[in-house]
Amino acid sequence: GNSVTQMEGPVTLSEEAFLTINCTYTATGYPSLFWYVQYPGEGLQLLLKATKADDKGSNKGFEATYRKETTSFHLEKGSVQVSDSAVYFCALSDQTGANNLFFGTGTRLTVIP
Amino acid sequence: GAGVSQTPSNKVTEKGKYVELRCDPISGHTALYWYRQSLGQGPEFLIYFQGTGAADDSGLPNDRFFAVRPEGSVSTLKIQRTERGDSAVYLCASSLVSGPSSYNEQFFGPGTRLTVL
């Protein structure tokens, strides 16, 4: 079946620190992988995605590389800002039929000045 | 343009009551999804519509849950005989198309927070 295991939080970092949030997955077939972000008081937003092995998704300074050999899609950012404080969800879609998303449990990131 | 909207934003009801949650997708989006997010968890898939028909309802937890999309646009999630365990945020998402495509990004609404007392 399909599942996503995500690094548990919460994570607290100082501004300009390096961020890694780990995500591994189990899937049938060839999934697409996503990171969604939920800012305080807002809905889920797509942050970045990768649709095949070795693809790198990037947006707003965040990056994640689709690693088929390790079934991972870790989220990284070199220098976090206070405005990055949010809950981050790793997700996959098996790209068949409904294309519905399978989410991890989410990681809450707090960046302090 | 307008994003996905959901009403109400909050719903408090008593155990055993019936509730309806509404989703207005982005205009022109043919695919519509319902998810449920319990406290401290990621969203879990409930049901998917392609046009007017429920193409996949495998995520509905039991027969108290039902959803419709009669004209292929607005959708209503209906919960009968609510239980305390139904308390969660119910999320709706829409996409231009479904399946493996560059146009299948799901756009999420703000959710309806349901509390069953």
The reply to whether residue A99 touches residue B100, judged by beta carbons under 8 angstroms, is yes
| Encoded tokens for A87 | 């809950």
pLDDT at B38 over 80: yes
Q: How far apart are CA A88 and CA A57, in angstroms?
A: 15
pLDDT at B13 over 70: yes
B105 confidence band (pLDDT: 50, 70, 90): confident
What integer pLDDT is reported at residue A60 of this predicted model? 95
Higher local confidence (pLDDT), B24 or A7 = B24
The reply to whether residue A101 touches residue B44, judged by beta carbons under 8 angstroms, is no
Which tens digit of pLDDT belongs to each residue from A33-80? 999 999 988 889 999 999 889 999 999 999 999 999 999 999 999 999
Q: How far apart are CA A73 and CA A37, in angstroms?
A: 15
A97 confidence band (pLDDT: 50, 70, 90): low
pLDDT at B64 over 90: yes
Across the interface, of A45, A100, A104, the residue whose CB is closest to B56 is A100
What integer pLDDT is reported at residue A29 of this predicted model? 79
- Chain A residue with minimum CA distance to B4: A43
Choice among B26-30, B56-60, B79-83, B103-107 with the minimum mean pLDDT: B103-107
Q: Which conformational region is residue A83 in: left (phi greater than 0), alpha (psi within -120 to 50 degrees), or beta?
A: alpha
| Encoded tokens for A77 | 């950012």
What integer pLDDT is reported at residue A28 of this predicted model? 80
A26 confidence band (pLDDT: 50, 70, 90): very high
The reply to whether residue A99 touches residue B59, judged by beta carbons under 8 angstroms, is no
How many Cα atoms sit within 13 Å of B71 on the Cβ side? 7
As a whole number, mean pLDDT of residues B21-44 equals 94
What integer pLDDT is reported at residue A15 of this predicted model? 97
Q: How far apart are CA A103 and CA A93, in angstroms?
A: 9
Q: How far apart are CA A95 and CA B110, in angstroms?
A: 24
Q: Is the bond leading into A113 cis (omega within 30 degrees of zero)?
A: no
End-to-end CA distance of chain A: 41
pLDDT at B1 over 80: no
Check CB contact of A102 with chain B, cutoff 8 Å: yes
Amino acid at A28: T
How many Cα atoms sit within 13 Å of B22 on the Cβ side? 8
Q: What percent of chain A has pLDDT over 70?
A: 96
B43 alpha carbon, distance to own chain's centre: 11
The reply to whether residue B98 touches residue A99, judged by beta carbons under 8 angstroms, is yes
Check CB contact of A96 with chain B, cutoff 8 Å: yes
| Encoded tokens for A59 | 């947006």
| Encoded tokens for A98 | 């409904």
CA neighbor of B49 nearest in space, from B32, B74, B65: B32
